[in-house]
Structures are given as structure tokens and as C-alpha cells.
Chain A
Amino acid sequence: MTAGTARAAMGPELAAEHGLTGEEWERILEILGREPTLAELGVFSAMWSEHCSYKSSRPLLRTLPTDGPAVVQGPGENAGVVDVGEGWGLAFKIESHNHPSAVEPYQGAATGSGGILRDVFTMGARPIALFDSLRFGSLDSPRSRYLLDGVVRGVGDYGNCVGIPTVGGETVFDPVYERNPLVNVMCLGLVRLDRLTRAGTGAPGNVVMAVGSRTGRDGIHGASFASEELGEETSDRRPQVQVGDPFTEKLLLEATLELIERDLVVGIQDMGAAGLTSSATEMAERADAGMEIDASRVPVRETGMTPYEILLSESQERMLVVVEPGREDDVREVLSRWELGAAVIGRVTGDGVFRVRDGQEVVAEIPLRPLVGEPPTCTYEAEESEETARHRSVDTSEEGRLGSDGEAREALLTLLDSPSVASKRWIWEQYDTTVGTNTVVRPGSDAAVLRLADTGRGIAATVDGNGRYVQLAPRRGAAIAVAEAARNLACSGARPLAITNCLNFGNPTRPAVYHQLREAVAGIGEACRALGTPVTGGNVSLYNETPAGPIYPTPVIGMVGVLGDVTARVPSAFRSPGDVVLLVGTTREELGASEFLARIRGKVAGEPPALDLEEAARLVELLVEAGHEGLLRSAHDVSDGGAAVALAECAILAEGGPAGLDAELEGEGVSAGALLFGESQSRVVLSCRPEDAGPLGELVGRRSLPVRRIGTVGEPDGTFRLRAGGLTVTAGSRELAAAYDAALPRRMEHEAGLTT
């Protein structure tokens, strides 16, 4: 689809070229009572794309819990907001930029960061942190190394330049993401609740202004591109990838916050996906108003741009601002001080119509309600694929047999060297983690912790997902992602408040994929209800597939929480020799869908571990209480790689350098492999001072959770000795650290200097 060149006459064929179905074409004719103009067709195409309309996911998303005592703003705005105390709101949201990153990793990732920052600062919130959740193919492939390198540079350069620290994230490698990497970025921002701004238009007569960068021909139809599968010829899509400019973003951020601080703004929205079209129509529709835009007054950076192109451009770092009449010059003054432009391009009307003029000529006139408020919805047939059911039913009960101490030791070292498990230091050292002087716990822990201005409080956040679990059991896998996020926050000492989610799935018109989506959303809903963490918004990215097939369904959960006292934060790693180590939770013979099974046995099969949501909620309560009472020296979630990997991480990352450990894992009738590497849920590794072991044990008992004293933290540079099921894993703590730390640089270092 190229704009401005000779094209087919208006009709269902041209509509199909715009990604609209025959049914949708008929509906457009009905809404307008005539054939659409080219500009109108472009507007419908963009607004009814999956990316903007959520047409496949909306009926499912409606089932999610969105209310709670802390929720100030739920789904439907630029970002969700929760009350974090003392008059402060925390705005947060996650967004995907998967397709652009598959084609052009650096710009794709950079503009993803830019978009989510704008979503947060348009709420009047100053961004304080970014998180990234990334998926790539195996690092054995040059393509995956190229994508990882580009994405990390893109996320880093953008956030670093704007001055927002990237303080947490997760990165997982699996061949299913080879040609369709996932790049999800979450942003957190702080706003005084009395300054919270929303994206409305206020009364008719208000003035509409375009602010920030000029509009060019870049990224036209990006929203539609994001709503298709990636084909062999996706490199041809490069022109649909936008180019970011973090310097302009920084100016726009400061100018926007100043506009809001000075009360100059009625409503504001980022011109993100589908650009001017989506921002104008969504703002007006939310306010039950109408809007009239004169395309010829939009500042452009190229000559000869048609209204069609101006409406659909996705040029970055632009905002649509609505102000009361008479305030235009004040707005211009603020923007010009930040060396940015602002132009009046239209006005708010009362007729519920989106009207676009090109000078005198009306080029589009569309009623907003049917365009934005009642877009088509699609419900597809849902049926689990037989293949998945077969993989899940594979018996994994014999996989935990390990023949010797040596085999168990090799398995641990192999898992620590697995890029999905290993240290991500190579990634986060390329991100500015400390700018803004709020970062209290940096990347590498269960959750990042930031201080909340001068209140003494803390904010914790994490992003989590496990595509392999969701692939094998979508409902349980998605619930586990929520539970793991809550456990991570609670380990840091924070009480979980709410989530944002990013649903990365394949083509929903396939029954197997729609089944995954429906079940995963149900699982998220169940877990959020049980854990008291409502959904405040998010993003859906469908059509993540290539000719090689779909990705694992990968819902990513971004969760935020709050600590009453930031100095009471609990680190993940061990602190001092002699501290007592405890394991809370029950270890079962659960190796299905585990990292051990994938890496050591080469199988993606079996049932993911069972999840008791009620128990998960009790564990969260326990951790928050124990942290608050100062009983914990460290707390670390048991997840990928099981208890052995969790204990190794606690030892490797110990305060003052790698520390030894002497511990024993027990469980009746459980194999050595499952004791060491099984991923049974609702388990955490705690350490405490010897004198606190009694009181801590009692506290755990009061929550009716099983707890076992498993060992003692050793000396710095000491030996890591872990017994399980008659076997003993013995390794030097430095040796474990070397495997864990070298995994990424070892695979990436020969790429250094390849690109700039």
C-alpha cells in the first residue's frame, strides 16, 4: 500500500488492500450512507485495525477485573494510575513494539520506548523508570544476536538520552521467537493526584493544537502493519518503521509537564499508532464531542503531503493538545522555550463528527461513535490444537532421575549458562539505571525498587512472563505469570497493587491461537482476583507469527507495588555467612514445561506446575509481613531452573561477592531432579539471622505455609554444596558465578564493534 500513487478505484478491493474485510466495507457504507473518500477509508482502516480497535481481544478483555481500592484510573486512558499514598499517583503501562523491532531492531525498540514514555507523561506524570520484557531466538543464531544487540542499543539509547532509568526487565531466548522477537516496554511515572490529566476535549469551541515534531511521511499505516503476520518480505516494511529522536522527546516531556503544571491543557494525547487520526478521534469520542481538523494547517516536514498521509503518519514525538480559546499563545510560548513548535489545527465541536478539511474542502466526515466507540468485534472459533494437548500429556515423571553427583552438577552449570537463566548484566549495564536518583534496588533482583519522592515510601515493579507454560497450558500459565510477578514484588518487601499486561499472541483467526488467548485472559483474570491486583490497562499484540509458525503465546505481566518504608526493602541475594536458609512452599514431582526439561532433556512437554492461587496470596501476605518486621535478610523467588538455580543465584550475587552454601533439599517421594530443578509454584528461598529463624518459622506457620530450614550461608568464595535425593552438587561459588556471568558476553562479545 503506497500513498499518493495510482491506485484502484474506491470499492471493496481498495478496502481489502487497506486490510478491511468485505463485511467491514459494507458497514462503512452503512455508517456514511455513501462511499468513503480515500482519506475516510484510511481513517477506518487505521481505527479498525487490530492494533487500535482491539477487535479480537476486546470481548475477552472485558472479563478482567479493573476495580480496586488503589485504582485511580483503569483501562481506557493513555495509562493506568494507582494511588501510592501521600497524594501521589503512579501512572504505568506496558506496550509492545514487536513487528517494527523484527524489521529494524534499533529504531523499533527505540520508538517503542518513546511511545510508552509519552503515554505516561501525557497523564501529567513524570516518568521515573522503564522496564523491558524481551524475547529472542537462540543466541546460536547470528540473526538473534543481531536483534538482541540492536534492541538493547535501541532501548538504551532512547531511555538514556531522555534521562529515564531502565531499572528492570526480563529476557528469554527460545527458537520460536527467532524471526518474531518480542519487545515490550513498561514505563512508570509519578503524578500528584490533583494534577492528573486525562485525554478529553472539554467543551465545544476548545482549540486543538499539534505540538512537537512536524509531520512527515514516516510510519504511514504502522498500526495496520502491526496487525498482520510477518512475511518473508518483511524487510520491505522498513519504511513503515518510525524513526525516533530522544532529544526531541526530552524537550516534549519537559514542555508537556510544564503545560500541565501551568493548567494550560484541557486534554492531551500522544499521536502514536495511527497518529493524528487515533488521537483526535479517541479524545473527541471519550468526551462525547466532535472535532474538526484542517489538515492544511498541520505543520509538515515534507511538501506535497496529502490529507490521507497527514492523517495516517506516525512521525514520532508529536502530541495533540486541546486548550481553551485564548490560551494558544501561552502554549506557543512554553513550546518555543523548549525549541518546539505548536500550531492550531482545529477545534472541538458538539456534533459527534470527525471532520477533516483540506483548506476549504471537506475530505472526511465520519460519525465518531460507530468509528471509535462501536468498532467491529470479532469472536473466533477456539479449539486447542491436538499437538499441544499431546505435548502436555507427555509423562515427565521419570525425567527427574539423575545418575550421579556429576550429572546433577553438570545440569546446574548448564542451566546457569542458559541465556534465559543467566545474568543479564551484559544487557542492563548498557542502560542508565541510576539517573533521576530514585533507584534503590537496581536490576538483577526479584523486583526493582524506587523511592517515592521524599515520602520515605518505596515503589517496586517487575515484568514477568513464561511463554512455555502458556504454550502447554494457557490458563494456568498466564495465572502463574501473575502469581510470579506478585511473588517477586513481595520478596522485595512490597505489597502488590495492580497490573498492566501485554498480550503477545499469534493470529487469532486460527482456532488454536484464539483458544490460547481466551484461556490466558481467563487465567490472568482469576489470578488478579485472587491476588487483589486489578488490571489498569495494557496492550495486545496479535499476529506474532511468521511462515515458520506462531510464537509461544506470551502474556507479559507488569506489576507495581508499594513499600511503606523504602529502607525496609529486602534484597534477593544472601548477606552474611552463618545466616540460616529456609525454603517456603511444597516441592512436588513437577518437571513439566520446566527449563530443566527444555535445556537438559531437550523437551518442551508435560504439565506446567500446579498453582493454588489461595496459597499464592498467603505467601504474598507472609513475605510482606516478614519484610515489614525486619525478619528477612534476603528473599528470592523460585522460578526457572528451580530451587537449585534460585539458591545458586542467592550465593553468586551475595553481598560482598560469591558466597558458599551448605544446604539439603528434601521431599518425600520426589526425585533428585525435581527437588533441584523442578518449578513447583509458590516457593521462595529466605535467609535470616540465626536468632530470627524461630520467629520467622512461626510466622510462616501462622500463614499455614510449609517451611523447611535447609541450610546455612557459607563464607565468601566458599563452596556451594547442595544435597538432594541422595546426590550432592558441589561447586566453587566462583565457578558458579563464572558460568552465570559469562553466558551472555561469551555469546555476544564477538559482535562488539560490529555496529555503532
Chain B
Amino acid sequence: MRFGIVRFPGSNCDQDCFKSVTEGLGQEAFYLWHRQTGLEGADVILLPGGFAYGDYLRAGAIARFSPIMKAVEAFARRGGPVLGICNGFQILCEAKLLPGALARNAGLRFLSHDVHLRVERADTPFTSAYREGQVLRMPLSHGEGRYVADGETLDRLEGEGRVVFRYVDEAGRATDEANPNGSLRSIAGVASEGRNVVGLMPHPDRAYDRVLGSADGLGVFRSALEAAAGAAS
């Protein structure tokens, strides 16, 4: 099982993804440079967090034009599993591989702390190792993470079961206080129509080992492994 991690100039969670896959999951990971046009046979594509192109103009706005994004789009269209974390989520939205957009946090400040997430759907290649309704704890760290979309889009996402993660409190309730950045309907992560592309703002890649405070994020990577094994059998 080979995880390809796309590095843009300014990606800075590439190593976190790498360690999650290699140390946390015991699988192979390798880097793909944004100028490449192929994916070197990766089974799963990860777009890591960071500040691709310094987030100048708008988070993810320049990175979506990187040569590799054509290959990522083609891979996604064929049903390949693609996960965007934080800045990677922003890039996937800019590239229209996922609906909606990430706006500045409601408080207009960068936020970095642990949050609780509820797994809304276990039928994606990045959540199948979880139970629906399971509450996870992991770090969040961003200045532009407020998920927004028009009402019609939001209704459609809800209707089609494409809201994958929601911000909740420790007990699993989606309250205003538990919503760190003002995301509409407390949405923390969504999936594409085909469910194979998933993006989320919190960092499962920083929660793969209990010594870091939580290992709840490891299930995201384990899901991809199990999904691929299932597809192969």
C-alpha cells in the first residue's frame, strides 16, 4: 500500500502525513513534487497542510494550478482515494474537487487547539475504520477554516450524506461553543459525490500516537488501507 504525499512550495505538514503513514500505520509513503505530472503509481493521495504558495491571494488559490493537480483530478475522477487535510482541504475546494470554500475564522484569529469531531459517515475510504457517531479528538490549526457554501449546496450535502465530520463537544453534541471557527452547520469535513475525495480542517496526521496527546486520527489512514484491501479482494 503506497501513499503519495503531494508537496507544494509551502506545504509544512508533509512530514506529519509521512510519519502517520510510516510510523503510525506501518505502510509506505513517498513525496510527490508539485511540478510532477504523474502520481508514480500511488494507491492513495494525501494533500497535506501548510501554506502552499504562502496562501497568498487566498488559501489554495495558486496551488490548484500546480502541474500535479491535473493528475490528482484524473485520479479522483477514476475513483482513487484522495484526502486533503487543512491546507489540502482548501486546495481541493479551490480545485472544485470538493464543494464549498474555507473562509477566515469567525473570530478573525488563527486558532490552534484540540477539537472534538463526530464521524458522520463511515462509508468513505477515510472513515470506514470508525463507527458512525464516534467522537474523535485531534488538533486543529488554521486561520481560514470556516466552512461555507450556499444553502442549497449544504442541503444537498446533508441529503446525500456527504458531511463526513462535524465539530462537537466531548459528549458529541454539535453546539455553537464546540464550533471553533463558525463553520456552517458545524461542518469540519466533507466528501465528493463519489465519496472517494475527502477533506477536513482538523489534523488526523497530528493524532497518530498517544504520546502526542491522541491517536484518534490514525483511523483515517487505517480506513484507506482497509478500503484498498477490500477493493483488491
Contacts and interface: CB of A to CB of B under 8 A. Distances in A.
B205 A338 contact: no
B65 interface: no
Contacts of B15: 436-437
B211 A161 contact: no
Interface in A144-168: 153, 156-157, 160-163
A246 B54 contact: yes
- Where chain B touches its partner, the secondary structure class is mixed
A248 B10 CA distance: 8
A440 B213 CA distance: 7
A434 B9 contact: no
A380 interface: no
Interface string B2-20: 0000000110110110011
A451 B210 CA distance: 12
Contacts of B49: 435
Interface in B54-95: 54-56
B203 interface: yes
A162 B55 CA distance: 12
B108 A247 contact: no
Interface string B202-225: 010110110111000000000000
A756 B108 contact: yes
A251 B10 CA distance: 7
B112 A429 contact: yes
B27 interface: no
Given A247-B53, A433-B112, A756-B108, A163 B13 contact: yes
B60 to A, nearest CB: 14
A435 B141 contact: yes
A316 to B, nearest CB: 14
A250 interface: yes
Contacts of B205: 437
Contacts of A160: 51, 110, 112, 141, 143
A429 B20 CA distance: 24
Given A247-B10, A752-B107, A437 B51 contact: no
Contacts of A566: 211
Nearest to B19: A437
Nearest to A157: B110
A209 B16 CA distance: 33
A437 B112 contact: no
Interface residues of B, number: 35
A575 to B, nearest CB: 15
B7 to A, nearest CB: 9
Nearest to A441: B213
B10 A430 contact: no
Interface string A568-581: 00000000000000
Contacts of A752: 107-109
Q: Which of B10, B49, B113, B203 has the most CB of A within 10 A?
A: B10
A35 interface: no
A246 to B, nearest CB: 7
Interface in A449-499: 451, 454
Contacts of A337: 33
Contacts of A615: none
A499 to B, nearest CB: 27
A161 B141 contact: no
Contacts of B16: 435-437
Contacts of A246: 51, 54
Given A157-B110, A161-B55, A435-B16, A338 B211 contact: no
B99 interface: no
A591 B101 CA distance: 56
Nearest to A156: B110
Contacts of A756: 108
Given A161-B55, A437-B205, A753 B9 contact: no
A567 interface: yes
Interface string A728-756: 00000000000000000000000011001
B51 A161 contact: yes
Nearest to A428: B112
Contacts of B213: 434, 440, 442
A434 B109 contact: no
Contacts of A439: 212
Nearest to A340: B9
Interface in B179-233: 203, 205-206, 208-209, 211-213
A269 to B, nearest CB: 24
A153 B139 CA distance: 20
Nearest to A246: B54
A756 B10 CA distance: 21
B51 A250 contact: yes
B154 interface: no
Interface string B131-145: 000000001010100
B13 A435 contact: yes
A2 to B, nearest CB: 31
Contacts of B109: 430, 752
A426 B35 CA distance: 39
A340 to B, nearest CB: 10
B1 interface: no
Nearest to B180: A429
B158 interface: no
A552 interface: no
Contacts of A338: 9
B212 A429 contact: no
Interface string A332-369: 00000111000000000000000000000000000000
Contacts of A753: 108
Contact of A434 (B10, B110, B139): B139
Contacts of B51: 160-161, 163, 246-247, 250
B51 to A, nearest CB: 4
B36 to A, nearest CB: 12
B125 interface: no
A229 to B, nearest CB: 34
B178 interface: no
Q: Which of A153, A246, A429, A435 has the most CB of B within 10 A?
A: A435
B106 to A, nearest CB: 10
A440 B107 contact: no
A454 B211 CA distance: 12
Interface in A245-261: 245-248, 250-251
A171 B50 CA distance: 27
A42 B218 CA distance: 57
B26 to A, nearest CB: 13
A225 interface: no
B56 A430 contact: no
A218 interface: no
Nearest to B140: A434
A339 B9 contact: yes
B152 to A, nearest CB: 29
Contacts of A433: 112, 139, 141
B25 to A, nearest CB: 14
A241 B89 CA distance: 35
A163 B50 contact: yes
B212 A440 contact: yes
A247 B62 CA distance: 13
Contacts of B143: 160
B173 to A, nearest CB: 17
Interface of A: 153, 156-157, 160-163, 245-248, 250-251, 337-339, 428-437, 439-440, 442, 451, 454, 566-567, 752-753, 756
Given A429-B113, A440-B213, 13 more contacts: A160-B143, A161-B12, A163-B50, A163-B51, A247-B56, A251-B9, A431-B110, A431-B112, A432-B112, A433-B141, A435-B141, A436-B15, A437-B15
20 contacts: A156-B110, A160-B110, A161-B12, A161-B54, A163-B50, A247-B9, A247-B51, A251-B10, A428-B112, A429-B112, A432-B112, A434-B206, A434-B212, A435-B16, A436-B16, A437-B208, A440-B212, A440-B213, A442-B213, A753-B108
Interface of B: 9-10, 12-13, 15-16, 19-20, 23, 33, 49-51, 53-56, 107-113, 139, 141, 143, 203, 205-206, 208-209, 211-213
